[in-house]
Structure 1
Amino acid sequence: MEGPRPIFLNIGKTLANTIAGFLISLGLTLIAIALYHLNDHLAAFVEALNTFIQSVSALIWTLIFLLIFGLTSILPPISVVAATSFPILLTLSLNGSKVVLEKYGDIAKVMRAQKLQLIKYFVMPGIVPYIASGSRAAVGNSLRISVVAEALGSSGGVGYMLVYCYNLGYKGGVFAWSLVLIALMMLVDGIVLRPLERWARNWMS
């Protein structure tokens, strides 16, 4: 397969892995935030879980998921992205939820809001700008981690092509795919992540 098609296919695979992993981490973050505010025992569990996940390096997560799913599965890169993005989003969202409750907790008490109502109408809407702001760091991190996971075990993607060219001794290919990765990260940051962070800051101000 010649021409630019292989380049776009591998870029698309890396982007798909990154987006899928990020969306999983986002969903887990929202669930964790809801559990955190249900009762003190769940709050302690979420805090401990966050600390544990943060303490595990991306390389260890990659090896674990490769052992579980296999070298040819599409799941290791996605799972690694989710595992490494989750603590970033969760930490910022927890901090944001505490700020929201400091501002609007008294109003919720006056309205006699129940736990679920507090989470639904105050906490979840209030943490949106914090999630948006943290998404820049999370997605940027996800792109880098996805490439590492693809390099160690995948059948495609930018990371796979980097290792493929390296194993063939093709220096030009290694540099070319490195530049592709850098350009991809700059493009995603400039077009999507930076405007998203700017919007979040305007909302919070």
Structure 2
Amino acid sequence: MGWIYLIIFLFILWIALERTYPYAIPSLSSVALYIEIQGIISIARNVFKTLENTFLGFALSFALAMISLIAYHINLHLRSFITALNTFIQSISVLVWSIIFVIIYGVTSGLPPIFVVSATSYPILLSIGISGMQSIEGKYRELFKVFGAKKRHELLYLIIPGTLPYLIGGSRAAIGSALRITVVAEALGASGGIGYMLLYSYDLGYKQGVFAWSILLVLLMILLDEAVLKPIEGWSRRWMN
């Protein structure tokens, strides 16, 4: 019922804003017409491009987070370095990363959105992983020491399998953030995707296009969260328990 109430509220709000600001807010019919003109192929191509950028960037950040967590466990000096590195990367904004990667790879390259997503998702996953690792170490590390387990056995049979559910559970927040970040990166430097189409529509003065692509982005995020990320998070919580 909550979604029905929300749809009714948004519909009424849109109509009210359209009548109050007709020069800025397009009608629902004009937005629907824009989507129809764009066609299913064009929309699907740009949506899949955004999803591709998001998941490639997330996969890279997930791999980097796992490597960092292994290093974090191995050595106290590496633990201090990774903690400082995590804080440093968290302090860099999406805009800065976007500009840096566009300068390096160019506006038409497909790499900037992927690397921007990776750079911004990495500290989220790393923070979640560190928290999970500390929890696992506090519960079971002494037990492993009692049985005389070697460092590599502790890593293979305790740290990695124990931390993995935390990372998978945290992927819901990381992927959701990554999808929003991808759109920003595509707007600043890409040749396709929802973010690119948003900026393209804005530059040409197509307010219908701006709202149409915004609606598609919101629907994509809701669908991804409800159909994929929530079940994965629930599964990871059962694994942890």
Q: Judge same fold: TM > 0.5, yes or no.
A: yes
The one-letter code sitting in structure 1 at the alignment partner of 2:184 is V
Decide which structure has the larger Cα Rg and report it.
2
Shift of 1:45: 0.7
- Partner residue of 1:122 out of 143, 158, 169: 158
Any runs of at least 4 consecutive aligned residues in structure 1 with deviations exceeding 3 A, and if so which? none
State how far apart, in whole Å, the 2-side matches of 1:2 and 1:50 are. Answer: 42
Mapped pair 1:143 → 2:184: no
Superposed CA offset, 1:30-67 (max 9, x none): 00000001111000111011000001011111111111
**1:87 corresponds to:** 123
Amino acid at match of 2:209: G
Moved more, 68-77 or 1-10: 1-10
Distance 1:2 1:99, change over 3 A: closer
Q: Supply the distance in 2 between the matched residues of 1:111 and 1:8 (Cα, whole angstroms).
A: 55
Match runs of 1:1-205 below 5 Å:
3-205=39-241
Would you say the 8 A contact 1:25–1:82 is kept in 2?
A: yes
Gaps of 5+ in 2: 1-36
* Equivalent position SS for 1:72: coil
Cα deviation per residue 1:142-191 (whole Å; 9 max; x = unaligned)? 00000000001100000000011111111111100000000000010001
Name structure 1 gaps, 5 residues minimum: none
Q: Measured at CA, do residues 2 and 91 of structure 1 come closer, stay the same or move farther in structure 2, by a change above 3 Å?
A: closer
Could you say what secondary structure the match of 1:154 adopts? coil
In 2, the alpha carbon distance for the partners of 1:115 and 1:63 equals 42
Alpha carbons 1:37, 1:115 under 8 Å: kept: no
- Deviation of residue 2 (structure 1)? 5.7
Paired letter, 1:8: A
Tell me which amino acid in the other structure corresponds to 1:69. Answer: Y
Per-residue deviation, 1:111: 2.5
| One-letter amino acid of the counterpart of residue 102, structure 1 | G
- Using the TM superposition, name which of 15-24 and 110-119 deviates more: 110-119
Distance 1:160 1:49 in 2: 31
How far the C-alpha of 1:204 sits from its partner, in A, is 2.5
RMSD: 1.2
SS in 1 for 2:74: coil
Cα deviation for residue 80 of structure 1 reads: 0.4
Number of positions where the alignment pairs a residue of Structure 1 with one of Structure 2? 205
The Cα of 1:203 is off from its aligned counterpart by 2.4
